[in-house]
Amino acid sequence: MKKKLAAFSGVALLALAGQAAAQDRAAMNSLVTGVGAKISCSAVFVSGRSLEAAAADSDRLLGELGGGIDYAVDREAASASASREGIGRSAYYRPGLGCTLSADGQPLPAQADPRDPYEASPVWQVAEPGPDGDATALTTALDAAFPAEANIDTRAFVVVHHGRIVAERYAEGFDADMPLLGWSMSKSVIATLIGLLIEDGLLSLDDTLDWPDWPEGDPRRDITVEHLLNMSSGLAFNEDYAGADDVTLMLFTRTDMAAYAASKPAAAAPGTVWSYSSGTTLILSRLLVEVLGSPEAVQAYARERLFVPAGMLSAVLEQDGAGTPVGSSYVYASARDWARFGQLYLNGGEIEGRRILSPEWTAWVQQPAPADPTANYGGQFWLNGWRSPDRARRSIAELPADAFSAIGHNGQTVMIIPSLDVVIVRLGWTTGDAYFRMGTTAPPVLRALGILPAADATP
């Protein structure tokens, strides 16, 4: 009897293992097709690209996890879908709101378009390089920003000096008006909206969260807005982009992303450990909804307080299925509008004579997070060694110590260099083992423009 039980247990274990493998495969297919549906929907309906180009972006983003995916677009329903091995996901487009993955494959509730249809983006002044520039060297430097290597795939590169575009180039199929995905540059946009709430007296850095699923006495109730902005919440969150980690599960399998992030346990006391987390920014994004009252109110506030006065009229702040803006990852804007965002911070909160943010807020986001041992992260912006005279502490030794950046996956960058009065934007789709290096790309461009001194003279 004992022997038969052992044999039966072995068969049962094999059956359970097979069932678990099938479940794992189904879960992976759900994740992969979620990526495919979301990326292709936004590429087609927000950026205006073809389904073939959108599918290629999705496949490259997925890497080894991809393959065998069928993509489709339904323009009448304003949706895109992806399927593999009988498992499919759909994302739906809503004007002004971009695309959102559907939890059940059905269209999403209607929501008003937050854009004014009569708005038109202001025109940037475009200037020739200054008298100290070298046109041949500039061409060579821009060529290096758009290398032939397919996996680097730079799509837009813009340099603004003294408030005028002095260098600009786009890859074939892209242009100055096309909204492109910022990935984690979106975090800096959310920080800006939080800063506006603080300036409007609706929030403070010291406010803690009253999350409904955190019981009295839970250490997570000590997390403040400042902790969240500084990526020092103490919440456990895995963000290594290795398959089904927390960030990919959150972005492509969860309807309520902020709830998923807030469900993570406390791994450290708030303010004691720095840990980069898209989930942290989703909690800040939900805070926008809680303070302003509704997803519609957040969209209106973003438009009225930031996008319109800053001239970022192409900007689209996408939402999850719960109506929370996906502030960690899903802001789309044209390269020129991303440059306007950088110019806003370069000017200490002003753009074209309009005061949008206080200089105190733009200075605060540049202060290093107390828990970050490298002093290279501030308030949802990346820093450059925080103005240290020691170049070894800088992320980019050849650039001035006051440089700071919004940075996103695939090499998205808005770099702001106050001492040079420069903003640099790079947008692209760098994938695989490739890596776009702003540290080796930007200095030659700035030197060719006569803006950056020789390496040994860089402040």
One-letter-per-residue 3-state SS of 302-345: HHHHHHCCCCCCCCEECECCCCCECCCCCEEECHHHHHHHHHHH
Which H or E element spans position 387?
none
User: What three-state secondary structure class fits 8?
Assistant: helix
Hey, CA dihedral for 198, 203, 208, 209, is it positive or negative?
negative
**pLDDT value, residue 130:** 67
Nearest 5°: phi and psi at 180? -125, 155
The tens digit of pLDDT for each residue in 285-319 reads 999 999 999 999 999 999 999 999 999 999 999 99
Residue 16 has a pLDDT of 32
The whole-model pTM stands at 0.93
Encoded amino acid at 44, one letter = V
E strand map for 32-174: 70-74, 79-84, 87-94, 98-101, 154-161, 164-170
What is the β-pairing status of strands 316-317 and 87-94? unpaired
Q: What is the pLDDT of residue 245?
A: 87
Q: Please report the pLDDT score of residue 10 as a whole number.
A: 35
Query: What DSSP character marks residue 176?
Result: T
Residue ranges of the chain with per-residue pLDDT less than 70? 1-23, 118-121, 128-131, 241-243, 455-459
Q: What's the pLDDT score for residue 121?
A: 63
In 46-132, alpha helices (H): 51-62
Direct distance between the N- and C-terminal alpha carbons of the chain, in angstroms, rounded to an integer? 82
The CA distance from 448 to 81, in Å, is: 45
What is the identity of the amino acid at 257?
Answer: M
Token pair listed for 23: 């479940």
Distances in Å between the Cα of 167 and the Cα atoms of 80, 127, 139, 179 are 35, 8, 10, 19
Residue 321 has, within 13 A of its CA and on its CB side, a CA count of 22
**N residues, the chain:** 459
Rounded Cα distance, 191 and 186, in Å: 9
